[in-house]
Chains A and B, each alone.
Chain A
């Protein structure tokens, strides 16, 4: 696992990918920080939360090549024909992408140090949003890996990852839309408005349950709970396991 981690991590810096991701993150976080700083009210929590919306761009850039490139170049055969465990390959690649995120995060730490040294406030809510940031990063990276394992084209992998992450980011909007449409439809076909509304609400709630952003929203106010974090970790494990199964299934390919 360490071998795969080391290779993948260093490969980010052998190609433009690592530099592009870090530069993008530094530029965006720096822009937000300077804006806040010049207006005199720095809020690390809101900066970190703003940075989360760029997962949709940065995660596909980082993960698109993870497995797709191996398949295209024929190097995946190394993982099948050497005594290495396939799950440790998946986990190694996951750790490499996660480590790159940690390096990008150095920006935020610098911003925190600057804030502190200028007598600004770095409170419990800021730490809360930082914790959430990393758990969400883990979740999205595992989605990116899955997207990379299903295809041998980096572009398709990046697009698939982009669509899934954007769906998750918009889940609350989409659920409201779906819920309203369904209750309106039920009202039209003659269901009483009360039950139509309750069905609509149930659908909204059901879909919202999948939304990691709402689940972790309270962390920025310093209200911590374990279940949202377990939610992120378990889904990350599920996606990694699916990635592993997809790789393993290749062996039994029927075509």
Chain B
């Protein structure tokens, strides 16, 4: 568990982080979002002990990162934006070096490394020089490095940046596996990724926390009502009248109406409390208007993000 309280970091006159507080629970995946320069990396660097905060505290499993750095750092595995790799070492040499730094007992080392290497799938390249590996493999070695010492908390700063779609899917799978027995903080620009792997998101903007919530709650909170998109065969007006008659529907507007092929598309707004989808289905059926497409238009994380960060 990580408790972050009133974290402030000044860079000269500029406040890079301005009074940030949040908690990361055990075995939770927390997404960390924000536009460039919002203070994401600075916050992560402070949590991991790389930078010191101007004021505020970070407690890792009850240990303050400044007062008990050794105990706190033992519980954290960190993958910075640029993986800290020594290109002139082989993967195994490098991971052994990390074991030395993290003071992993010699008796446990072999077993632990074998497990990590198998988990991040770098068995084939274990004896190759890191400098000769592809970007995807380098990123995996970076994750392996974070896993050494069996930390209970993983902090991953943009773990899939610069990877190809296949590699992104694999790393995402790996993160999901890791999430089973680790607390994970992920920062990323790829919002679909956050949506897919995270339980909660913290959105920060200009050094402040703009929102902390689960993605579904955030989207509901932002829209205030739920939106549906309906496309059907038949006259638009007839459809609209049928939908408007349903209790709970607050609005229904034409989006597209194509007279030639006799198809229409409408957007429906309904109260949050009532689920109008079944009633719409029956109403359309009753009026002999076959449904072609019917889906929810709740804001995606992209929209939430843009609306909160105001860009």
Beyond A74-B82, A77-B84, whether A84 also contacts B50 by CB under 8 A is no
Residues of B within 8 A of A6 (CB): 97, 100
A3 contacts B88, C-beta separation under 8 Å: no
Name the prevailing secondary structure of the B interface residues. Answer: loop
Beyond A77-B80, A81-B78, whether A254 also contacts B10 by CB under 8 A is yes
A3 to B109, CA, bound (A): 14
Select A252's contact among B52, B70, B80, B89, beta carbons within 8 Å. B52
A78 to B82, CA, bound (A): 12
B307: shortest Cβ distance to chain A, in Å? Answer: 32
B84 contacts A78, C-beta separation under 8 Å: yes
Count the A residues whose beta carbon is within 8 Å of the partner chain — how many? 25
Residues of B within 8 A of A253 (CB): 11, 51
B84 contacts A7, C-beta separation under 8 Å: no
Select B12's contact among A73, A76, A77, A254, beta carbons within 8 Å. A254
Residues of A within 8 A of B78 (CB): 77, 81
Q: Which of A11, A74, A78, A252 has the most CB of B within 10 A?
A: A78
A4 to B71, CA, bound (A): 20
B50 contacts A80, C-beta separation under 8 Å: yes
A83 contacts B97, C-beta separation under 8 Å: no
Select B101's contact among A11, A15, A78, beta carbons within 8 Å. A78
B48 contacts A81, C-beta separation under 8 Å: yes
A3 contacts B100, C-beta separation under 8 Å: yes
Q: Does B86 contact A (CB under 8 A)?
A: yes
Select B51's contact among A15, A82, A83, A251, beta carbons within 8 Å. A251
1/0 per residue A1-32: CB within 8 Å of B? 01110110001001100000000000000000
Residues of A within 8 A of B50 (CB): 77, 80-81, 251
Name the prevailing secondary structure of the A interface residues. Answer: helix
Beyond A3-B97, A74-B80, A254-B10, whether A80 also contacts B86 by CB under 8 A is no
Select A251's contact among B52, B70, B80, B98, beta carbons within 8 Å. B52
Interface residues of A in 74-122 (CB under 8 A from B): 74-84
Q: Which of A75, A79, A82 has the most CB of B within 10 A?
A: A82
Beyond A83-B73, A254-B10, whether A78 also contacts B98 by CB under 8 A is yes
B73: shortest Cβ distance to chain A, in Å? Answer: 5
Q: Does A255 contact B (CB under 8 A)?
A: yes
21 contacts between A and B (CB under 8 A): A3-B97, A3-B101, A4-B101, A6-B97, A7-B97, A11-B86, A11-B88, A76-B84, A77-B50, A77-B80, A80-B50, A81-B49, A81-B76, A83-B69, A83-B70, A83-B73, A83-B74, A84-B103, A251-B51, A251-B52, A255-B11
Residues of A within 8 A of B (CB): 2-4, 6-7, 11, 14-15, 73-84, 251-255
Residues of B within 8 A of A (CB): 10-12, 48-52, 69-71, 73-74, 76, 78, 80, 82-89, 97-98, 100-103, 145
